[in-house]
């Protein structure tokens, strides 16, 4: 039985560079003919020609994908959120505690700034690393709020903070390098580290310290192969916040590790409920600041998750390398989204304060309610907008005959049977826990708790 003509599977265009990177292994060669628009992949003794006007009807087998794709897991949080939304589209009432995004709308003055930019025709390419106006606003924010002094050449604007982290691992890590990663950790860290060819070194947070690491652990973990230490405070998924004293102890250790870069993910810095201000690690040590890259963005603080706007600030050589990589991948972040970013940073921050106040109330309600579930332990998180209850007391029990032997099994039953979406702790390297986001309205919180109580009552 004949096969239809092959459709083009690879096209040499910057906007699908990721497809090419996944299709090639180290040692492959790529040649492009400008006259024929043909891409030739040469690997070992096999030549594969893919032409955009091919009329071949020969049943060529598809070439293999790069091995790195088989090792790449999809984001479990995004997958869960998509599944919950798909169930809702089918008419199923789902309480979604899985989403890591504020339920508030982007403040009106930010949207209006983006609309004005659109109306003014600000729809073309910008500088790869961001507009001068946005980079200046970021520098001012870092100086005023974090005590960090950067020039615009030390800042790159990215397509979300996740994009900044991906690019940083790509430019900082070589195969064989190690990245020290405190556990629990955000789901994408491990995959991004492995994609860069590096190896994550997991450092378990201590229960007596609120699942935070201490200086002694860090000192022991650092080796000649350590290339990066990654710190996320406030933390996703735990909500843990490192105090100034705790950060200073880590900084004292890191000052002696001269071959180690430090990456601080501070995307949740606005969401702290202790009354203490956020402390950025490089502000404690000028020597450490020379090796530290601060990552932040607009998604959480300004409810701009869909705008895809983030940034990194650090040593000029690192920022230039990230900018060069970005120039060959996504190019600049969306032009009019950057106009919204300028408005966000330079306008009133009252919208942020109001959102944080609401999250504090929701946190208190959710934590108190979770503590009423038999066998559940849930200390109040100091930051972010997640509760991270320990639920391992129900492992080994059954729900209507279904064995609960892991956080994945429990979260699957909760979604399928109770129609409550939560994220299994195994996604964060902590199988004894679940993550519940309280970035949702009060009515959904109350309904979700009612469903969880009914489910718990039926555990055998």
Residues in the chain: 460
Q: Count the Cβ atoms, other than its own, within 10 Å of residue 260.
A: 18
**pLDDT value at residue 86:** 87
CA 72 → CA 79, 175, 195, 410, distances in Å? 14, 16, 8, 24
Does pLDDT of 232 surpass 60?
yes
Mean pLDDT (whole number) for 190-214: 96
Domain ranges of the chain: 14-67, 76-100+351-457, 125-346
Does the domain spanning 125-346 belong to CATH 3.40.640.10?
A: yes
Lowest model confidence (mean pLDDT) among 29-38, 365-374, 385-394:
29-38
C-alpha dihedral, 392 to 396 to 399 to 400, nearest 10°: 180
Mean pLDDT of 335-351: 98
Tokens found for residue 46: 């096999």
pLDDT for 30 equals 53
> May I ask the CATH class of domain 76-100+351-457?
alpha beta
At 118-138, the pLDDT tens digits run 999 999 999 999 999 999 999
pLDDT at 346: 98
pLDDT digits (tens, 9 = 90+) for 108-119: 999 999 999 999
69-73, 100-104, 236-240, 354-358: segment of lowest average pLDDT: 69-73
CA–CA dist 375, 342 (Å, integer)? 47
Q: Is the pLDDT of residue 55 over 60?
A: no
- Using the predicted structure, report yes or no on whether residue 3 has a pLDDT greater than 70: no
Position 44 pLDDT exceeds 60: no
By C-alpha distance, which of 74, 61, 12, 55 is closest to 37? 12
Mean pLDDT (the chain, rounded): 89
pLDDT band at 448 (very low <50, low <70, confident <90, very high): very high
| Closest of 245, 313, 315 to residue 284, by C-alpha | 245
d(CA 427, CA 429): 6
CA distance 143 to 209: 30
pLDDT at 27: 58
Distance of CA 102 to the CA centre of its chain: 15
Copy the structure tokens of residue 54: 């091919």
Residue 248 CB partners (closer than 8 Å, separation 6+): 284
Average pLDDT over residues 177-181: 98
């Amino acid at each position: 039985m004949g096969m239809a003509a092959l459709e083009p599977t690879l096209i040499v265009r910057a906007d699908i560079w990721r497809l090419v990177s996944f299709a090639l292994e180290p040692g492959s060669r790529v040649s492009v003919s400008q006259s024929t628009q043909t891409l030739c992949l040469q690997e070992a003794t096999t030549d594969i020609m893919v032409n955009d006007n091919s009329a071949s009807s020969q049943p060529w087998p598809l070439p293999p994908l790069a091995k790195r794709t088989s090792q790449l897991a999809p984001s479990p949080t995004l997958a869960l959120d998509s599944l919950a939304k798909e169930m809702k589209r089918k008419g199923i009432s789902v309480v979604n505690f899985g989403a890591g995004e504020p339920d508030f709308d982007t403040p009106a003055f930010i949207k209006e700034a983006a609309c004005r930019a659109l109306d003014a025709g600000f729809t073309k390419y910008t500088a790869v690393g961001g507009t001068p106006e946005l980079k200046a606003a970021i520098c001012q924010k870092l100086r005023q709020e974090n005590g960090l002094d950067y020039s615009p050449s030390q800042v790159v604007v990215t397509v979300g903070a996740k994009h900044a982290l991906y690019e940083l691992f790509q430019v900082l890590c070589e195969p064989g390098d190690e990245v020290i990663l405190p556990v629990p950790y955000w789901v994408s860290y491990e995959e991004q580290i492995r994609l860069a060819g590096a190896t994550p070194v997991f450092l378990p947070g201590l229960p007596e310290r609120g699942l935070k690491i201490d200086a002694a652990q860090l000192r022991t973990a650092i080796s000649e192969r350590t290339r990066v230490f990654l710190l996320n405070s406030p933390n996703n998924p735990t909500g843990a916040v490192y105090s100034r004293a705790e950060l200073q102890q880590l900084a004292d250790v890191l000052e002696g590790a001269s071959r180690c870069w430090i990456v601080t993910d501070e995307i949740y810095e606005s969401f702290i409920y202790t009354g203490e201000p956020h402390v950025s690690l490089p502000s404690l040590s000028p020597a450490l600041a020379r090796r530290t890259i601060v990552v932040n963005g607009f998604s959480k603080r300004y409810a701009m998750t869909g705008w895809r706007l983030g940034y990194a600030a650090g040593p000029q050589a690192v920022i230039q390398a990230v900018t060069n990589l970005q120039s060959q991948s996504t190019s600049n972040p969306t032009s009019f989204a950057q106009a919204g970013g300028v408005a966000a940073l330079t306008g009133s921050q009252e919208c942020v304060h109001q959102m944080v106040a609401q999250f504090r109330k929701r946190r208190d309600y959710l934590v108190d309610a979770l503590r009423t579930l038999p066998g559940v332990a849930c200390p109040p998180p100091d930051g972010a907008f997640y509760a991270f209850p320990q639920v391992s007391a129900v492992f080994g029990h059954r729900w209507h005959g279904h064995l609960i032997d892991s956080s994945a099994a429990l979260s699957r039953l909760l979604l399928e049977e109770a129609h409550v979406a939560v994220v299994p702790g195994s996604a964060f390297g902590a199988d004894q826990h679940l993550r519940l986001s309280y970035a949702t309205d009060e009515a959904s919180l109350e309904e979700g708790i009612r469903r969880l109580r009914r489910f718990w009552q039926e555990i055998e």
